[in-house]
Structure 1
Amino acid sequence: MSWRFVSLPPQDGYHMVTSFVSVADYVSRGGRNTLLVFSVKEPFVNVGVHQEVWLEVDLDYTSKAGIPVVRRDLGGGTVVITRGEHDYFVVVNQDEAPSDPKALYAKYLSPVVEVLRDYGLNAQLKDQDIVVNGKKISGNGAMTHGKAVVLAGNILMKLDVDLMSKCIRVPTEKFRDKMAKDMSEWLTSLERELGYVPPREELDKKLKASFERNLGIKFEDSSLTSEEIEEWERLAREKMEEEWIYYKDRRHPELRTERCVKISSSVAICHVDYKARKLLRITAKFLGGKLAEVSISGDFFVMSPKGFIELLEERLTNLSPEDIPKEIDRVFEEKKPTIFGFTADDLKKAFLEIVNKPEVREVI
């Protein structure tokens, strides 16, 4: 089976997060499966599609430093993309990709694991990440787009923990110092493990050979089609719009809190961070004994259907607390979402935590 191998020059953040969408359109129309590789020109903060920017990013610092904030179409957490990583995007026909997220990651990340082992590293697949001696060296995520499945990931070649920690929102500077220390302990890079940074061309050569061996395919060095490039430029322009970057924040402008507050005898706003397999952030406003508004965000991945979180928020609005678990089950049964990071039971437990808060109990 013949795949395309496309190596691009360094891109800005807006073009990075739209490249694989353009290629997915091409694959959906019957084009060949594609492995796309490139790096970034300059650092940027990459926010997951289900996250609220104000909760995740230190906007004072990024604004002063001139570091763009870019929202991608893919789930997962906020990451600071630097020139010290090598990025790859696997775009395949949906019929050829495993529908189970765990099997999907195993199939298309095994070649990357093999490349790292070829350097003599003790690399292992852990959920959707690749770790070396327990430290993450590769972060990955997946999504469906049209009739294509996209797996996006990177290999950390060189770390800039100082920059990463400055871009992330934290409660105090003391906490930022702790976060930087923690990052150094749970992230690693090729430079740290090998004592040097391999050339990108060498990495590409190894990736090509490993994918061919593991998947039984042959690569043809290729370029993007003119249609892909035209669509790519259009999508990149869309991603530059503040309406997209802050769409999650603007969807719930009144739910800006990280605690529980009783506003009046009939109104309370409450926020909880619930750790399922991935992080669930829920902010809810209760009015007159009912859930008046809710924001569900976090670093999870919803592979399908598109717009599921927004639909879920709408379906839960105006319900009494006792009806919330039943409606969650109903929506999950109807839409049968493919989610990596939390289950319907996790969501019900998170809401139970909210409704049991004293501030909420007093108004319901």
Structure 2
Amino acid sequence: MSSKAPSLRLLNLGRVPPLQLHAAYTGLAEALSADERAGWLLLARSARGHIALGASQYADAELDLAACHAAGVPVIQRRLGGGTVWVDDAQLCVFFILPAAVSGTREDFFADCLDVLCETFGRLGLEVERVGQQDIWSRGAKLLGSGGAAIGAAQVFGASLLERFDAGRFMACVAAPSPGFRSWLSELLERGMTDLSRLGIRATEPELVEALSSSCRRRWTIVDGSFDDAARRAVAEAAKELGEPLETGGRRLVRAGIKINRHSYLLEDAAAPWLRLVWRDGVVERAAAQDAGAEQALQLCVGESLREGLVSRAGIRSGMSKAAAAELESRVLELCRDAGR
């Protein structure tokens, strides 16, 4: 490693409360100056299972807040982008924090971080691949998602080494327009997500940290780090801000449903008669409808690329009037408008 390479101060917080976890990387980023060359590699586990919303999400649109409250699940609105995630102590949270002087472009920074994490998984014995600009997959399912943001004068990248994904607790917190939506969501999470345990990896935390640190050393200089007074003040201030009331009153990030992974979305129009479908890479993978005619038409579309005219022609073939078929197509296209973005 070149002596001119940026350095990362490695700090492992261990198990901390949810608010403290998110305040730590936020405050450390805020405390960096733009001309510094040393950043942070921050590791932590959440001492309590919680929901972390993306910076641009609305809590009442994405979540069943009553269910969260009843289950004692805290909700934190993080400063990082991305969607709704479940965070608990069965995952090692990893945050790369670099000042602007050495982080490069956002795209390059994300690419560096994902490459390091791919190498980390390789050291654990896994074959993985990058999918898009934010995900890592293994054996056909999403193993890692990520989010990032410019915070203060720094770029921040966050992700988790997922030992076990508690899909049940996550699913219970997500806003669902119907029991059928929740049932389909359960099936899609089972198929579309994976974790180290399911992949047969039983690594201890020291083994995870060593694999990550060794991979990082190929790109950055790694040194031990600790909070100084300025960082403590910045983290305390971040905790105050993150403790403020959640953003409410807006729409879902995916207007009609939820993104399962880069390829798949679960979508539902709950207005009577309801429609529900799974969109995968532009194809109608699965569909259902309350109205018998719409149900028959949508089944003709399963396995087909969603395009103008597909649904209306299927509707007419199913005996619907031209007007009813056109209305069904309009609803389906509107339902899928955010898919793939």
Q: TM-score, normalised by structure 1?
A: 0.65
Say if 2:213 and 2:222, in contact at 8 Å, map to a contact too: yes
Quick one: which amino acid aligns to residue 146 of structure 2?
Answer: N
Say if 1:24 and 1:150, in contact at 8 Å, map to a contact too: yes
Quick one: which amino acid aligns to residue 17 of structure 1?
Answer: H
User: Is 1:146 aligned with 2:152?
Assistant: yes
DSSP-derived class of the 2:92 partner: strand
Whole-angstrom distance in 1 between the partners of 2:256 and 2:168: 28
- The alpha-carbon distance between structure 1 residues 104 and 175, as it changes in their structure 2 partners (threshold 3 A), is same
Indicate the residue corresponding to 1:295 in structure 2: none
Quick one: which amino acid aligns to residue 11 of structure 2?
Answer: V
Query: Please, which of 101, 108, 117 is the counterpart of residue 112 of structure 1?
Result: 117
Whole-angstrom distance in 1 between the partners of 2:16 and 2:101: 30
Query: Please, which of 127, 130, 133 is the counterpart of residue 125 of structure 1?
Result: 130
Indicate the residue corresponding to 1:206 in structure 2: 211
Whole-angstrom distance in 2 between the partners of 1:226 and 1:188: 40
Indicate the residue corresponding to 1:218 in structure 2: 221
Quick one: which amino acid aligns to residue 67 of structure 2?
Answer: Y
Q: Which segment is superposed worse, 42-51 or 170-179?
A: 170-179
Whole-angstrom distance in 1 between the partners of 2:145 and 2:20: 19
Quick one: which amino acid aligns to residue 113 of structure 2?
Answer: Y
Say if 2:63 and 2:175, in contact at 8 Å, map to a contact too: yes
DSSP-derived class of the 1:169 partner: coil
- CA displacement 1:252-307 (0-9 Å, x = unmatched): 6xxx799xxxxxxxxxxxx77799x899x9xxxxxxxxxxxxxxxxxxxxxxxxxx
- CA displacement 1:150-190 (0-9 Å, x = unmatched): 11111111121111110111111222122112111111111
Quick one: which amino acid aligns to residue 177 of structure 2?
Answer: P
Indicate the residue corresponding to 1:26 in structure 2: 31
Query: What does 1:15-54 align with in structure 2 at a 5 Å threshold?
Result: 15-28=20-33, 30=36, 32-54=38-60
Say if 2:52 and 2:77, in contact at 8 Å, map to a contact too: yes
User: Is 1:11 aligned with 2:16?
Assistant: yes
Tell me how far 1:230 sits from its aligned partner: 2.1
Whole-angstrom distance in 1 between the partners of 2:38 and 2:121: 26
Say if 2:58 and 2:252, in contact at 8 Å, map to a contact too: no
Quick one: which amino acid aligns to residue 244 of structure 2?
Answer: E
Quick one: which amino acid aligns to residue 223 of structure 2?
Answer: E
Say if 2:106 and 2:155, in contact at 8 Å, map to a contact too: no
- The alpha-carbon distance between structure 1 residues 31 and 13, as it changes in their structure 2 partners (threshold 3 A), is farther
- The alpha-carbon distance between structure 1 residues 60 and 206, as it changes in their structure 2 partners (threshold 3 A), is same
User: Is 1:192 aligned with 2:207?
Assistant: no
Structure 1, unmatched stretches of 5+, are 259-270, 282-352, 358-364
Say if 2:41 and 2:97, in contact at 8 Å, map to a contact too: yes
Whole-angstrom distance in 2 between the partners of 1:201 and 1:22: 26
Say if 1:4 and 1:220, in contact at 8 Å, map to a contact too: yes
- CA displacement 1:301-331 (0-9 Å, x = unmatched): xxxxxxxxxxxxxxxxxxxxxxxxxxxxxxx
Indicate the residue corresponding to 1:134 in structure 2: 140
Whole-angstrom distance in 2 between the partners of 1:100 and 1:235: 23
Say if 2:37 and 2:102, in contact at 8 Å, map to a contact too: no
Whole-angstrom distance in 2 between the partners of 1:272 and 1:189: 27
Query: What does 1:1-364 align with in structure 2 at a 5 Å threshold?
Result: 1=5, 2-28=7-33, 30=36, 32-101=38-107, 103-127=108-132, 128-194=134-200, 196-213=201-218, 215=219, 217-242=220-245, 245-246=246-247, 249-250=248-249
- The alpha-carbon distance between structure 1 residues 100 and 35, as it changes in their structure 2 partners (threshold 3 A), is closer
Quick one: which amino acid aligns to residue 224 of structure 1?
Answer: F
Structure 2, unmatched stretches of 5+, are 268-329, 335-341
Tell me how far 1:104 sits from its aligned partner: 2.6
Count of residue correspondences: 259
- The alpha-carbon distance between structure 1 residues 119 and 272, as it changes in their structure 2 partners (threshold 3 A), is closer
- The alpha-carbon distance between structure 1 residues 190 and 4, as it changes in their structure 2 partners (threshold 3 A), is same
The structure with the largest helix share of the pair is 1
Whole-angstrom distance in 2 between the partners of 1:257 and 1:82: 23
Whole-angstrom distance in 2 between the partners of 1:137 and 1:5: 24
Whole-angstrom distance in 1 between the partners of 2:88 and 2:48: 7
Q: Which segment is superposed worse, 158-167 or 30-39?
A: 30-39
Q: TM-score, normalised by structure 2?
A: 0.70
Whole-angstrom distance in 2 between the partners of 1:119 and 1:234: 37
DSSP-derived class of the 1:46 partner: strand
Structure 1 runs (4+) greater than 3 angstroms displaced: 271-275
Quick one: which amino acid aligns to residue 210 of structure 2?
Answer: K
Aligned-residue CA RMSD (Å): 2.7
Say if 1:27 and 1:91, in contact at 8 Å, map to a contact too: no
- The alpha-carbon distance between structure 1 residues 273 and 202, as it changes in their structure 2 partners (threshold 3 A), is closer
